[in-house]
Structure 1
């Protein structure tokens, strides 16, 4: 009896070990959707869906149990039946593409115009609308899940057969990396990103979060939210996040705009050593640092959220969370000074987003 009690005590007090679990998460178009939950030795876990390679949860220890840092739902329909791309990976390119057109080496291509005259987030049948194949890997220092899908012109109207991979890795130090890989057999575009929404608090909005960004300018848009090519200086405007700034104050500064908040793209300095942005909840002290190897960061404060979806912290509503989408600047094919997201035949491109939490 005493031996059994001793062994039981050891089991109950032992630290959690790196772990990967798989569970069903509903169906879409008769396809099964799976949820993969990765847990590290510190009790931190992330959950990823095979639908849209979607980041569904980032649970960290709190005073009472755990807190999910992401806008999240346990119901697949809350992800599939709303227009806000919550948690999804978007691509082949993130953001808006003017006229749904681009040119590579003198050839003009036309892709899906799913937002008025323009293409948004890779069109209506892009990365965010597929059920991906998953494989997992576990080491002494990390757990990961890789989502794979081959896109063809028949699927998303972009040229080339694109072998796309998205790998989420939870590390022993609690950081999470999202690695994107694309290989194609014909010239195409590749500029995917994560459309995860963050709320680090246990409240219903992010107004008491501070935000700091490594940015001196942002993109100017036309009436269709298409980049004009001009860069606007952040200093002395609501876009000045050089120092930690309360979102409530910054959003108040946008009260005379149609958006009543942010749906904008900051120009950031790609740097593996310096965070592109830092988000912190003033109530709990929880924070994340976001690192990126690309020069753009979309900041969307959910200004237009409505109750079409319900998340674990309530029906969707403005300022419920903030999307931080690290990518190369939007509409790049029409603005060569923004960068180059062309993926040439038989080439491979890799991008990475890294999130470092403190709690």
Structure 2
């Protein structure tokens, strides 16, 4: 196993973690962005399985959050404001009248302090950032550490640890767009997804949660026994149409299985398994992408990647019955998501 470092644009550093199987993960100190993940297909061919810009400079103005760490709160906050203990906090608007993924100066756009490490069985990076009270409109001084760790079983774990000196809103995620076909060979409509979730969050026309939880039974949102992503792309179901004929919804996990999500690509044989202690996930199928962006292997197009944004729900700031994003003073926030890459014949 090895860790390599190179300078990017004369101002950033990119760290590449490579295990003994040849799996490699490249991460910027800017935004904690995952720029590339190389994993084998069923024939042992190492190819990239995430979307990443060909020109790194495009990450500065990126509105798609490719590969980035997002926070303080991942997802949309209605009206760019929330109330906490009788006080209203006003956040920066960057999605119409709403606040998205921590705002324009969120964690995706800061320089993280990075310390590489190696253990007997893993290699990794500890990324640290201090978010000052009032940053983006949020209360509390928050210290955050995100650990990226790779082992020889082709498992990439992301561990998020944080604490605040005031009660605040906080839920982080990583915003990588996965495409198991390899080197962006084809869109993700043929990806077969199994997800342990029997309820998802209804959205309005602005993609803001209405406060209502919907049952997945009899809808294109039922992935409990597996379903192709194109099912939602091609359906006339109202919630799919609202999201741009795809998915951009929060699914609440059921608790009956440790493996929360399994993604299979029959063409390449690649399998992605997601384990997490987060209460749910936003699955976004890049419905808003057009053909104007240049990645390392191809130009962008609709449905070219799928995000699994494991997190709590910002809808909890305005509605009852959703997984809470409140972090109390001196409480330790500790969440982990593990992406395991394998193959099937």
Unaligned stretches of 5+ in structure 1? 1-17
2-structure distance, mates of 1:316, 1:151: 33
* 1:206-225 aligned within 5 A: 206-225=188-207
Of structures 1 and 2, the larger Rg is shown by 1
Where in structure 2 are the equivalents of 1:24-39 lying within 5 Å? 24-26=7-9, 32-39=11-18
Q: Does 1:241 pair with 2:223? A: yes
Of 22, 44, 54, the residue aligned with 2:33 is 54
Whether 1:71 and 2:54 are equivalent positions in the alignment is: no
Q: Give the C-alpha shift of residue 270 in structure 1.
A: 5.4
**How many Å apart are 1:307 and its aligned residue?**
3.1
CA-CA distance at 1:74 after TM superposition = 4.0
After TM superposition, the score normalised by the length of structure 2 is 0.92
Please tell me whether the aligned partners of residues 277 and 290 of structure 1 are also in contact (alpha carbons under 8 angstroms): yes
User: Would you say the 8 A contact 1:78–1:310 is kept in 2?
Assistant: no
Secondary structure of the residue that 2:58 maps to in structure 1? helix
Q: CA RMSD in A?
A: 1.8
What residue is the counterpart of 1:45 in the other structure? 24
1:351 aligned to 329, 335, 343, which one? 335
1:158 aligns with 2:138: yes
> Residues 141-220 of structure 1: matches in 2 within 5 Å?
141-202=121-182, 203-220=185-202
- Aligned residue for 1:134? 114
Aligned residues: 337
Whether the aligned pair in 1 keeps the contact of 2:273 and 2:339 (CA below 8 Å) is yes
SS state at 1:216 partner? strand
Cα deviation code 1:58-108 (max 9, x no counterpart):
211344751111112342123233311110111001001111212222222
Whether the 8 Å contact between 1:153 and 1:161 is mirrored in structure 2 is: yes
Q: Secondary structure at the match of 2:140?
A: coil
CA distance in 2, matches of 1:357, 1:254: 33
1:350 Cα deviation (Å)? 0.8
The answer to whether structure 1 residue 291 and structure 2 residue 275 are counterparts is: yes
Q: Report if aligned partners of 1:270, 1:293 keep a CA contact under 8 Å in 2.
A: no
Contact 1:78–1:311, Cα closer than 8 Å, also in 2 = no
Q: Which moved more, 1:34-43 or 1:332-341?
A: 332-341
Does 2:254 align with 1:269?
A: yes
State the shift of 1:250 in Å: 3.0
Is 2:319 aligned against 1:335?
yes
Q: 1:39 & 1:55 partners in 2: Cα distance?
A: 14
Give the 5 Å matches for 1:14-25. 18-25=1-8
Segment drifting more, 204-213 vs 327-336 = 327-336
1:305 is matched with which residue: 280, 286, 289? 289
Report what 2:93 is aligned to: 113
* Distance in 1, Cα, partners of 2:141 & 2:231: 46
SS in 2 for 1:250: helix
Aligned-residue offset at 1:157: 2.0
**8 Å Cα contact 2:192/2:264 also seen in 1:** yes
